Structure 1
């Protein structure tokens, strides 16, 4: 990610942060708003930190200490309150606003792999042939795929390497956490960066969509569809 794209995504992330704060105006205390801005100003580019904070919510952890350089960031969960402490400051959010702020900022700042990239998917989630010893390699053929009837999108779609799309319906939709290893990155230039920015602006800021990994409802619905298709085979 170039410095120019990184700066553009930072600006886009703060647009989304303000959008979320306004939508939760009745739940977020006014004095917390500048503290929230300061937190993301400091740590927005530390995607690993934000993902750990989101995972702490998913695992229902009562507390968690994280490090960013010399800083210590503490997460506390008690009842419906989710609190983050940093640099002798803190803010508390309800579950919905906490989840939305982290999920959207994670996805905006997360790197998007170019077309043609080859990745290995985690075999714990995707292993079409149980006889294969190594993880399956997938060539990314599309990004930002919004299935009909869903309020979220798939960051990636691809085909199995080296077979390709031998027949209709053999494409694989997947999310960033399912990527175990990037084998080879595809070509990227200024047009690619412009595309990534515009798609994140359209999907995340304007349409209020996020990666399907952050939607429990859509993930359950997707699982039911996959089980139904398997039963029809």
Structure 2
């Protein structure tokens, strides 16, 4: 009887694992469709000549590689560093990126397209943000001490509990993917929350609870903010990031931070 129960338990575990994998695949496909919808939206904003010459190749590129998060992140870093040329592998295919003047060119599978850097960055950043995983509430992360160090004498990275996502400051056209409080202190005073972006996370210590409602919430927020309102994470907004840094510097001068 015990052996029979063990066999049933193993079978249930396998079924749950298969169901989880199927749900993950469905979510990824939905996000890919959303990313392509945003790509189409951006392409339609280009001049007619650009749309006719490169529109098909641009969409095909993101259709093929939108789920290659590491590759797209490498490509974005190459753009940010203004590297003159960069090649990398995505799905066992070589992609060549070149930057000249203010023009970014992508060559893949014998095809290529060229765009002004602002348009190129917009396509890339929106796709990355839509496809990127969002940690659920209650997750505990370590933040990069080079960017966040509440105590100058601290020698180890700060741990933060995620208490909110997709928070947009007033009058900004961008948002913070995450808001949290220091672990284990919590919110010691009103408004003492930490706003941060995905690249500042160095390590995930604990991942919070996640179910179908969580996945639906993340999808709807990405659809509303990125596709419908044309917003982006603040990490991709040079204007809002500079504004934030100036505000933080001003607060430090008067001792508020």
Give TM-score scaled by structure 1 length. 0.97
Question: Aligned partners of 1:30, 1:120: CA distance in 2, in Å?
Answer: 46
2:149 counterpart SS class: coil
Equivalent of 1:23 in 45, 50, 53: 45
Q: Which residue of 2 aligns with 1:198?
A: 220
- Summarize the alignment of residues 174-193 of structure 1 with structure 2, pairs less than 5 Å apart: 174-193=196-215
Matching residue of 1:142: 164
CA distance in 1, matches of 2:41, 2:51: 15
Separation (CA, whole Å) in 2 of partners of 1:62 and 1:137: 38
Large movers: runs of 4+ above 2 Å: 25-29
Separation of aligned partners in 1, 2:165 and 2:131: 15
The yes-or-no answer on 1:107 pairing with 2:118 is no
Rounded to whole Å, the distance in 2 between the matches of 1:232 and 1:27 is: 52
Deviation of 1:30 after TM superposition, in Å, equals 1.0
Gaps (5+ residues) in structure 2?
1-22
The partner residue of 1:121 within 143, 156, 160 is 143
Task: State whether structure 2 residue 249 is matched by structure 1 residue 218.
Answer: no
What SS is found at the alignment partner of 1:4? helix
Alignment of 1:91-102 (within 5 A): 91-102=113-124
Q: Which residue of 2 aligns with 1:151?
A: 173
2-side partners of 1:204 and 1:29: how far apart? 21
**Alpha-carbon separation, structure 2, partners of 1:164 and 1:85:** 49
Q: Is the CA contact (8 Å cut-off) linking 1:27 and 1:94 kept in structure 2?
A: no
Question: How big is the alpha-carbon RMSD for the aligned residues of Structure 1 and Structure 2?
Answer: 1.1
Point out where structure 1 has 5 or more consecutive residues left out of the alignment: none
- Give the secondary structure class of the aligned counterpart of 2:177: strand
Q: Are 2:140 and 2:162, in contact at CA under 8 Å, matched by a contact in 1?
A: yes
Count matched residues: 233
Determine if the alignment matches structure 1 residue 131 to structure 2 residue 190: no
* 2:58 matches 1:44: no
How far apart are residue 31 of structure 1 and its match?
2.8
For structure 1, which segment, 28-37 or 78-87, has the greater mean C-alpha deviation from structure 2 after superposition? Answer: 28-37
Cα distance, 1:198 vs structure 2: 0.3
Q: Which has the higher contact order (CA 8 A, sep 6+)?
A: 1
After alignment, is 102-111 or 73-82 more displaced?
73-82
